[in-house]
Amino acid sequence: MDDALKAGGDLRVLHLISGLGVGGAERALQRLVAGLAARGVSQHVVSLTGLGEIGEQLQGAGYPVMALGISGPGSLLQGLGRLRRILAAFEPHVIQTWMYHADLLGALLRGRAPGAALVWNLRGSRRGPRELGWRTYLVARTCARLSTRADVAVANSWAGREGHARMGYRPRRWLVIPNGVDLQRFRPDLARRAEARRALGVSQETVLIGSVGRDHPVKGYDHLVSAFGLLAGEHDEIALALLGRGLDPGNPRLAARIEAEGLAGRVHLLGPRGDVERWLVGLDIFVSPSLSEGFPNAVAEAMASGVPCVVTEVGDSARLVGETGRVVPPGDARALAGAIRALLALSPQARRQLGAAARARVEEHYGLEDFVQAYHTLYVDLAAGRRR
């Protein structure tokens, strides 16, 4: 193998993604771009739609990013023309696609970059119309029929690999690379813990339960609110904090649910936050009530912050927490309440010990460096194979 290529020095990777708004795939791409750049890899990021918040951040960090602005049939041909010109000028060794629309386009344009390997990134596990919406679901099904065009399909969870295989995905090669956690950004910090709790008006003695996600039925937040309602009558010194898109006081459905449960003043709706690490470290217990998952980033980040977790048995959640947390069936508020109750019964010191074990598990298996290195090794091997 060429030594320069092995070091990443002349390796060129083009990332093609459906959009660059804030989301799990977009954040994973952002972390990967930074990690590969530190290894000397040349990269170009192309969004099929707009620039988005993540695109702006990537540009601000000095990475080349282009938004094709495809919004319908009228802009499709113009966007495809720009993409062809990028491929011809950049001559990537690897085209890495993210999300179904980009996977589909990568497969259809394969002939425009015959010297490049095509890698798909597949996320999530339950891939039905309920989770995706009908239009995206139909794109995903089309991708299944074209999946033999992908040299490698990278799933970010074992559940995701199995779920896509059930849909009929048959790439030339499967690979599972779990998401990586920035262990410097997400870490236990007593000073930040005290600051977060002061900001919420929560005493140091209150057991603060929390979750990070978005307001969507598949995320299970109605079940979490119900579970907290069951516990609130038993414990005066507990509070709940919810972070994420739609988890804010302006959500009438969620606000009405909280009011109906008699939880006003005990549930903090914080909405989307760019500084999630500031709030996670203030929690005593993290809960993921999802009905469907692939690799749950928020759970891994909470664990890295030293917070013990209660998760539902979906996706790779149980595999992620191992013996450091509690696992319950999805969609069962009473089971969720029971698992939280078990952690509430522990002493603060015992919860901290469980959180420390969670942190150690992430350090061992899910660090950001391992994530970046796995992709780097894959890309180098593919590029070297193409050269041969």
Phi first, then psi, for residue 65 (nearest 5°) are -135, 135
Rounded-to-integer distance, Cα 121 and Cα 138, Å? 17
Rounded-to-integer distance, Cα 230 and Cα 232, Å? 6
Listed in order, strand segments (DSSP E) in the chain are 12-17, 42-47, 65-67, 94-98, 117-122, 152-155, 174-176, 207-214, 238-245, 267-271, 285-288, 309-312, 326-328
- Per residue of the chain (388 residues), what is the pLDDT tens digit? 455 455 545 899 999 999 999 888 999 999 999 999 999 999 999 999 999 999 999 999 999 999 999 987 778 888 888 999 999 999 999 999 999 999 999 999 888 888 899 999 999 776 677 778 888 899 999 999 999 999 999 999 999 999 999 999 999 999 999 999 999 999 999 999 999 999 999 998 999 999 999 999 999 999 999 999 999 999 989 999 999 999 999 999 999 989 988 998 899 999 998 899 999 999 999 999 999 899 999 999 999 999 999 999 999 999 999 999 999 999 999 999 999 999 999 999 999 999 999 999 999 999 999 999 999 999 999 999 865 5
Rounded-to-integer distance, Cα 346 and Cα 331, Å? 25
Q: Looking at residue 385, what is its pLDDT?
A: 81
Extents of the domains making up the chain? 3-180+368-387, 190-365
Which residues, in sequence order, are CB contacts of 23 under 8 Å at separation 6+? Answer: none
Q: Looking at residue 9, what is its pLDDT?
A: 59
**241 close to 222: Cβ distance less than 8 angstroms:** no
**258 close to 267: Cβ distance less than 8 angstroms:** yes
Listed in order, strand segments (DSSP E) in 77-166 are 94-98, 117-122, 152-155
* CA-based nearest residue to 334, from 228, 220, 211: 228
Please give the class, per CATH, of domain 3-180+368-387: alpha beta
**31 close to 372: Cβ distance less than 8 angstroms:** yes
Q: Looking at residue 71, what is its pLDDT?
A: 85
Six token digits for residue 10: 């002349």
pTM: 0.89
Rounded-to-integer distance, Cα 321 and Cα 310, Å? 9
Rounded-to-integer distance, Cα 20 and Cα 83, Å? 16
Q: Looking at residue 1, what is its pLDDT?
A: 44
Please give the class, per CATH, of domain 190-365: alpha beta
Q: SS3 of 308, please?
A: coil
Residue type, 362: V
Phi first, then psi, for residue 183 (nearest 5°) are -75, -15
